[in-house]
């Protein structure tokens, strides 16, 4: 671990100034991911700018029923928020499915979204990794790929994004509020994370110095019937093998509307638009759910070590929608 | 029986005598020792699996403020004894496995040491390596013996013919993966040299005297000039049973910094290369039986790996030798030497992986016979030890099975795949447990009257969290015929008399037997009203029964699993373990140990798997985020009980070991339950959701 200086930002604009002006500066929020990376030599900034104590820790319920969640709101606090629990079960469940109690107490909303993709080789500086060391090669392609991507990967990188929260927010069409050197802008969740392509070192579309200040979740009345299902090797805490965030609006046995996103399968939260399209207006039956899942997964290209993710994703999507539809009757 | 003036302490649930200190954080572990002039060591590890170090550029590291020493094979002191390949570090540029210690940085702070270690540039001549255990490996060989001294192979009767002639045969392959011990407290040692020839080591170890013996030999010191202090230990699981290469590294580095306390705590990642692990096993188990379920032939063959620099031969099939009656039986072990770290003891070495194979095959045999698996085990319970022909000191496996069946509700078990509750497929499973009742000679206890009827009991043993300090207090109190408040047990220091390792589930039997004999002699020599300072030392008494009986512990494990019909996720809502281990000295700490063993077993069944990337040669899931062990939220209800007994033929205390039996057979019971839930047989651990997707 290299020596570094630590600074605490007094307000968001000052934080942006500190980081944007120094290519070797980085934001520190809960530190649950970054501090590991500092120790492992994966990240080596010269300056850490602590944004965890900025006044960005409110959950605001908007007039239209939507939410504005401050970037520094802790995962545990957001999960426990009564409106989140009542209006967006998928969000509360996703948060509680992530990490352990201790980590959720430290991790922030923005930090959770901006954690790096997960791969044992990325974390091990003695092995090649295109994300950590562009051009060095991808060790996972022919290596330990049990937890890796089956959708949208490239031959440069097959890592998966580990955030559960991000999957739920993707399903809910959330927007990220970003403060950059040029001012504030809004980035839809769908555009925040990116597929690896030729630049796996970039996990998101943000530029250096961009600071996430809030996440806005639009009102979605039918999200009261929503769920997050995370399949993992260990019940207590583990990264998702596959996860499904879903909200379902069913009337008279017909799907009026649906939101569906997958975790553990791609470099970003995977919005299952193909499946959504097929489901809207169709019957709310297990067969239809399975057919939609199958259609979504036609694009899957599993690796030698993670072929099980395709049938697992199919059956988890089907089961999650089935259980939501069952609740509708 | 001796008449006691006070209620016996043995059998009471005395709370841990060091519990309060641990909870309050007042118990100082090895790394936490408050010593003058601390310095901090960070090891350098090879990043190739086989080859030679050809270049060391430490200039950048050495230029860093606060760096005290960069140690490599170029400047390391010479070791006096290089007979053990694991301890022979920094004596040559050779690299025998990835992650091997090739140097160290010592600095004023741990952070500087770690940073400087990153700055040392190492060049290698890289040789081809081989880290993959394969059945057809050309270097496969038959070791001379298996741990800790058993014959490699046994054969009785015409096994192959008996198998061929059997009415019903199960002949299957089972595998267990490489697994790492992962105690909560990482391996840590602090080394302080005085006068260049006297060494004090604060170590996290299961056996301070063993560390002293090894370090004295390797460094060429008089053992009297080495003191090892190990007051508290945060778990060992076998990986602290022997010193490892980091102990030698700490001593070598500190040699150059006399008078300074050189502190070394391994990182979790380093522990995956340096402190032992369980070999992967490939097992063949073949069982032949008559139609009425009498076993006629048993074959258990194991293939394992070892390191090219040091042999460790796990005794995978030894448990099978004494488990069930059969006229014909063969057990074998073969090893493949690879460019891998040195395997060692881990949580019931031998019995843990071996009983997964044997007990899984028993479950399959019961299935093939259409017989209840409990009944199959009952029908094949041998009257004498099939291996030695000796009578049992005691064997109550059948009683454990019957008691467990009753407590667990075994009669609710249905056909495979028949029970569904909502999204869950529910299954029940069973397996038997066994572990040998080892008694290690050599421990010496000292009893001293410290005045006012209080006694110090001194023995250089360890307490790795098992409660050894507490149960020795109870044993000593009864042996001295005084209340426990009058006994102060001192352990964890080679300044105290010799004690064998706290391992092999033999701590209490070995250390307690010495305490009992020392107490008896003390009373004989000094009477009931001894003078202050009166003192007696003794090792355990010779037993007239020694070698006359086969002494083992037994148990029955019952497990309920729930398998998610959609995702294959396995949950274990309840487990029942019934054990027969002789006298239970402290029901409170014993329950905790049995339960801990069962949790290890669940962990082995569902989680633990060290994944080696053979291109690189090291374990790539080398942290606790990727290498899963269960935590509280993964454990359901665990019902632990034991038979009320004492086994005085096993040892003078009548108490057999309880530390490891809980893991044996457990994974087979989980696999049995998974089969009962789903109809799917999983013969390769761990049982992960992808194995059960339909």
User: Residue B586, CB half-sphere, CA atoms under 13 Å: how many?
Assistant: 26
Interchain CB distance below 8 Å, A236 and B615: no
Which among B468, B482, B445, B461 has a CA at the least distance from the CA of B9? B482
- Which pLDDT value is given to residue A328? 43
- Nearest-CA distance from A310 to chain B in Å? 11
Q: Which residues of chain A have pLDDT under 50?
A: 328-329
Interchain CB distance below 8 Å, A1 and B114: yes
Interchain CB distance below 8 Å, B693 and A312: yes
Cα–Cα distance, B343 to B337 (Å, whole number): 11
Residues of B in contact with A98 (CB under 8 A): none
Q: Which helix (H) or strand (E) element contains residue B446?
A: strand B444-451
Active site residue B86: no
Give the nearest partner residue to A234 out of B607, B615, B693, using CB atoms. B607
CB atoms within 10 A of CB A185: 11
Sheet holding B94-95, edge to edge: B94-95, B51-57, B121-126
Interchain CB distance below 8 Å, B620 and A143: yes
| Contact predicate A178/A254, CB 8 Å | no
| Contact predicate A264/A160, CB 8 Å | yes
Question: Phi then psi for B364, rounded to 5 degrees?
Answer: -70, -35
CA dist B95 to B51, B53, B90, B246, B272, Å? 5, 7, 10, 16, 17
Residues of B in contact with A146 (CB under 8 A): 611
Interchain CB distance below 8 Å, A236 and B631: yes
Which among A81, A75, A114 has a CA at the least distance from the CA of A237? A75
- Nearest-CA distance from A181 to chain B in Å? 33
Cα–Cα distance, B675 to B671 (Å, whole number): 6
Interchain CB distance below 8 Å, A2 and B611: no
CA dist A296 to A150, A152, A166, A231, Å? 12, 12, 19, 18
Residues of B in contact with A316 (CB under 8 A): 566-567
∠ CA A172-A176-A182, nearest 5°, is 160
CA B589 remoteness from chain centre? 18
Give the nearest partner residue to B633 out of A233, A236, A311, using CB atoms. A236
3-class secondary-structure state, position B571: strand
Cα–Cα distance, B391 to A25 (Å, whole number): 73
- Which pLDDT value is given to residue B5? 59
- Nearest-CA distance from A7 to chain B in Å? 19
- Which pLDDT value is given to residue A329? 38
Please tell me which residue in B179, B301, B311, B660 is annotated as part of the active site.
Answer: B660
Interchain CB distance below 8 Å, A143 and B613: yes
Name the closest residue on chain B to residue A305, using Cα atoms. Answer: B690
- Nearest-CA distance from B576 to chain A in Å? 20
Please check whether residue B268 touches A, CB under 8 A: no
Cα–Cα distance, B227 to B239 (Å, whole number): 21
Give the nearest partner residue to A231 out of B111, B569, B616, using CB atoms. B569
CB atoms within 10 A of CB A40: 17
Query: Testing the interface with B: which of A4, A35, A120, A319 to mutate, by most B Cβ within 10 A?
Result: A120
CB atoms within 10 A of CB B127: 13
Interchain CB distance below 8 Å, A121 and B569: no
Please report the DSSP string for B611-639 in residue order.
-EETTTTEES--STTTS----GGG--EEE
Cα–Cα distance, A3 to A1 (Å, whole number): 7
- Nearest-CA distance from B116 to chain A in Å? 9
- DSSP class of B8: -
Please check whether residue A120 touches B, CB under 8 A: yes
Bridge partners, B38 (sequence order): B261
Cα–Cα distance, B414 to B272 (Å, whole number): 42
Q: What is the 3-state secondary structure (H, E, C) of chain A?
A: CCCCEEEECCCHHHHHHHHHCCCCEEEECCCCCHHHHHHHCCCCCCEEEECCCCCCCCEEECCCCCEEEECCCEHHHHHHCHHHHHHCHHHHHHHHHCCCHHHHHHCEHHHHHCCCCECCCCCCCCCCECCCCCCCCECCCCCCCCCCCCCCCCCCCCCECCCHHHHHHHHCCCEEEEEECCEEEEEEHHHHECCCCCCCCCCECCCCCCEEEEEEECCCHHHHCEEEEEECCCCCCCCCCEEEEEEEEEECCEEEEEEEEEECCCCCCEECHHHHHHHCCCECCHHHHHHHHHHHHHHCCCCCCCCCHHHHHHHHHHHHHHHHHHHHC
- Nearest-CA distance from A183 to chain B in Å? 37
Interchain CB distance below 8 Å, B606 and A234: yes
In our burial notation (b when 16+ CB lie closer than 10 A, e otherwise), range B141-162 reads eebeebbbebebebeeeebeeb
CB atoms within 10 A of CB B452: 7
Residues of A in contact with B568 (CB under 8 A): 312
Residues of A in contact with B616 (CB under 8 A): 126-127, 139
**Residues 67..106 of B with a Cβ closer than 8 Å to A: which?**
none
Residues of A in contact with B608 (CB under 8 A): none
CB atoms within 10 A of CB B121: 12
Cα Dmax for chain A: 63
Residues of A in contact with B47 (CB under 8 A): 126
pLDDT in tens, A58-74: 999 999 999 999 999 99
Interchain CB distance below 8 Å, B626 and A120: yes
Cα–Cα distance, B597 to B553 (Å, whole number): 14
Residues of B in contact with A140 (CB under 8 A): none
Query: Testing the interface with A: which of B626, B631, B680, B686 to mutate, by most A Cβ within 10 A?
Result: B626
Average pLDDT in chain A: 97
Bridge partners, A246 (sequence order): A227, A260
Residues listed for chain A = 329
Cα–Cα distance, B429 to A163 (Å, whole number): 36
Residues of A in contact with B633 (CB under 8 A): 235-237
| Contact predicate B122/B47, CB 8 Å | yes
Q: Are strands A59-61 and B145-146 parallel, antiparallel or unpaired?
A: unpaired
Interchain CB distance below 8 Å, B623 and A123: yes
Interchain CB distance below 8 Å, A232 and B633: no
Q: Which residues of chain B have pLDDT under 50?
A: 1-3
Cα–Cα distance, B344 to B83 (Å, whole number): 17
Cα–Cα distance, B166 to B173 (Å, whole number): 19
In our burial notation (b when 16+ CB lie closer than 10 A, e otherwise), range B529-540 reads ebeeebbbbbbb
Question: Phi then psi for B493, rounded to 5 degrees?
Answer: -160, 135
Name the closest residue on chain A to residue B47, using Cα atoms. Answer: A126
Residues of B in contact with A121 (CB under 8 A): 620
Interchain CB distance below 8 Å, B628 and A233: yes
Please report the DSSP string for B234-287 in residue order.
S--TTTTSS--HHHHHHHHHHHTSTTSEEEEE--HHHHHHHS--BPPEEEEEEE
Please check whether residue A44 touches B, CB under 8 A: no
Cα–Cα distance, A98 to A230 (Å, whole number): 9
- DSSP class of B390: P
* Calculated CA dihedral for residues B208, B212, B215, B220, nearest 10 degrees: 180
Please report the DSSP string for B79-100 in residue order.
PS----TTT--SSSSEE-STT-
Interchain CB distance below 8 Å, B688 and A233: yes
Interchain CB distance below 8 Å, A2 and B633: no
Q: Which helix (H) or strand (E) element contains residue B550?
A: strand B550-564
CB pairs under 8 A between A and B: 85
Residues of B in contact with A290 (CB under 8 A): none
Query: What pTM did the predictor assign?
Result: 0.97
Give the nearest partner residue to A312 out of B611, B615, B690, using CB atoms. B690
Give the nearest partner residue to B693 out of A120, A144, A308, using CB atoms. A308
| Contact predicate A265/A149, CB 8 Å | yes
**Residues 157..216 of A with a Cβ closer than 8 Å to B: which?**
none
∠ CA B171-B176-B177, nearest 5°, is 150
- Nearest-CA distance from A180 to chain B in Å? 33
- Nearest-CA distance from B559 to chain A in Å? 17
Residues of B in contact with A234 (CB under 8 A): 606-607, 628, 630, 634
Which among B213, B208, B199 has a CA at the least distance from the CA of B230? B208
Cα–Cα distance, B101 to B114 (Å, whole number): 14
Please check whether residue B24 touches A, CB under 8 A: no
- DSSP class of B662: G
Name the closest residue on chain B to residue A318, using Cα atoms. Answer: B566
Cα–Cα distance, B105 to B262 (Å, whole number): 11
Cα–Cα distance, A248 to A302 (Å, whole number): 28
- Taken in order B86, B237, B622, B604, the sign of the CA dihedral is positive
| Contact predicate B180/B191, CB 8 Å | no
């Amino acid at each position: 671990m290299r020596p570094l200086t630590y600074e605490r930002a007094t307000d968001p604009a000052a934080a942006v100034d500190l980081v944007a002006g120094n290519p070797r500066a980085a934001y520190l929020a809960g530190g649950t991911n970054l501090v590991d990376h500092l120790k492992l030599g994966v990240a080596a900034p010269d300056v850490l700018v602590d944004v965890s104590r900025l006044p960005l820790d409110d959950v605001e319920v908007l007039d239209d029923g939507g939410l504005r969640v401050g970037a520094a709101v802790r995962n545990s606090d957001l999960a426990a928020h009564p409106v989140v629990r009542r209006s967006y079960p998928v969000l509360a469940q996703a948060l509680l499915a992530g990490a352990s109690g201790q980590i959720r107490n430290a991790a922030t909303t923005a930090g959770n979204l901006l954690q790096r993709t997960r791969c044992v080789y990325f974390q091990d500086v003695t092995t090649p990794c295109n994300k950590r060391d562009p051009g060095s090669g991808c060790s996972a392609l022919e290596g330990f790929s049990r937890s890796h991507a089956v959708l949208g990967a490239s031959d440069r990188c097959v890592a998966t994004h580990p955030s559960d929260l991000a999957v739920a927010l993707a399903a809910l069409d959330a927007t990220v509020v970003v403060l950059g050197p040029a001012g504030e802008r809004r980035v839809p969740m769908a555009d925040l994370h990116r597929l690896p392509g030729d630049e796996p070192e970039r996990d998101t579309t943000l530029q250096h110095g961009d600071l996430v200040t809030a996440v806005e979740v639009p009102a979605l009345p039918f999200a009261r019937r929503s769920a997050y299902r995370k399949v993992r090797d260990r019940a207590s805490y583990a990264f998702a093998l596959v996860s499904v965030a879903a909200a379902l609006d069913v009337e008279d046995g017909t799907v009026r509307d649906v939101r569906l996103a997958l975790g553990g399968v791609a470099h970003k939260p995977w919005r299952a638009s193909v499946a959504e399209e097929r489901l809207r207006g169709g019957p709310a039956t297990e067969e239809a759910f399975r057919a939609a899942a199958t259609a979504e997964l036609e694009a899957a290209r599993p690796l030698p070590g993670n072929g099980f993710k395709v049938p697992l994703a199919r059956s988890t999507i089907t089961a999650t929608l089935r259980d939501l539809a069952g609740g509708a009757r | 029986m001796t008449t006691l003036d006070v209620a016996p302490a043995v059998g009471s649930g005395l709370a841990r005598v060091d519990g309060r200190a641990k909870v309050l954080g007042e118990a100082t572990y090895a790394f936490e020792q408050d010593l003058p002039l601390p310095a901090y060591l960070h090891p350098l590890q090879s990043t190739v699996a086989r080859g030679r170090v050809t270049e060391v550029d430490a200039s950048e590291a050495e230029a860093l403020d606060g760096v005290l020493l960069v140690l490599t094979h170029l400047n390391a002191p010479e070791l006096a004894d290089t007979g053990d390949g694991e301890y022979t570090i920094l004596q040559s540029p050779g690299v025998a496995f990835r992650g091997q210690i090739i140097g160290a940085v010592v600095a004023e702070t741990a952070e500087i040491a770690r940073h400087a270690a990153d700055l040392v540039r190492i060049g290698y001549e890289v040789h081809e390596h081989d880290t993959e255990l394969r059945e057809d490996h050309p270097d496969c060989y038959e070791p001379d013996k298996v741990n800790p001294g058993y014959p490699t192979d046994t054969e009785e009767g015409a096994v192959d013919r008996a198998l061929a002639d059997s009415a019903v045969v199960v002949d299957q392959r089972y595998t267990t993966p490489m697994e790492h011990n992962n105690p909560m407290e990482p391996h840590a040692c602090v080394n302080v040299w005085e006068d260049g020839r006297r060494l004090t080591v604060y170590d996290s170890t299961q056996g301070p005297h063993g560390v002293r013996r090894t370090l004295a030999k390797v460094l060429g010191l008089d053992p009297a000039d080495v003191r090892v202090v190990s007051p508290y230990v945060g778990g060992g699981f076998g990986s602290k049973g022997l010193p490892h290469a980091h102990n030698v590294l700490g001593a070598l580095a500190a040699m150059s910094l006399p008078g300074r306390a050189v502190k070394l705590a391994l990182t979790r990642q380093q522990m995956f290369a340096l402190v032992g692990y369980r070999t992967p096993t490939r097992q063949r188990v073949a069982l032949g039986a008559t139609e009425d379920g009498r076993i006629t032939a048993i074959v258990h063959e194991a293939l394992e790996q070892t390191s090219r620099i040091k042999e460790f031969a796990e005794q995978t099939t030894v448990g099978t030798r004494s488990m069930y009656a059969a006229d014909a039986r063969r057990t074998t072990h073969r090893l493949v030497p690879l460019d891998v770290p040195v395997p060692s003891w881990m949580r019931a070495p031998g019995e843990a992986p071996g009983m997964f194979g044997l007990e899984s095959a028993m479950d399959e045999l019961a299935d093939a016979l259409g017989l209840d698996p409990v009944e199959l085990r009952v029908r094949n319970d041998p009257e004498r030890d099939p291996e030695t022909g000796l009578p049992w000191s005691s064997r109550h496996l059948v009683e454990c099975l019957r008691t467990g069946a009753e407590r667990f509700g075994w009669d609710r078990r249905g056909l495979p795949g028949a029970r569904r509750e909502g999204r869950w497929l529910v299954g029940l499973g069973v397996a038997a447990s066994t572990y040998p009742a080892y008694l290690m000679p050599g421990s010496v206890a000292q009893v001293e009257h410290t005045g006012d009827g209080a006694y110090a009991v001194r023995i250089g043993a360890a307490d790795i969290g098992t409660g050894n300090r507490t149960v020795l207090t109870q044993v000593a109190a009864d042996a001295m015929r005084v209340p426990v408040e009058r006994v102060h047990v001192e352990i964890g220091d080679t300044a105290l008399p010799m004690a064998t390792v706290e391992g092999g589930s033999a701590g209490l039997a070995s250390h307690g037997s010495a305490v009992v004999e020392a107490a008896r002699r003390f009373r004989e020599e000094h009477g009931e009203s001894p003078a202050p300072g009166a003192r007696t030392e003794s090792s355990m008494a010779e037993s007239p029964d020694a070698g006359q009986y086969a002494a083992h512990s037994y148990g029955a494990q019952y497990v309920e699993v729930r398998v998610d019909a959609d995702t294959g996720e396995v949950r274990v809502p309840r487990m029942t373990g019934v054990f027969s281990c002789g006298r239970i000295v402290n029901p409170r700490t014993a329950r905790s140990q049995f339960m801990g063993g069962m949790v290890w077993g669940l962990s082995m069944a569902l989680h633990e798997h060290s994944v080696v990337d053979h291109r690189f040669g090291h374990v790539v899931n080398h942290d606790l985020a990727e290498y899963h062990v269960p935590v509280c939220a993964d454990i359901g209800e665990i019902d632990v009980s034991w038979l009320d007994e004492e086994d005085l033929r096993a040892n003078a205390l009548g108490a057999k070991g309880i530390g490891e039996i809980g893991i044996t057979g457990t994974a087979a019971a989980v696999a049995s339950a998974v089969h009962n839930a789903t109809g799917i047989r999983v013969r390769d651990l761990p049982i992960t959701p992808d194995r059960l997707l339909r």
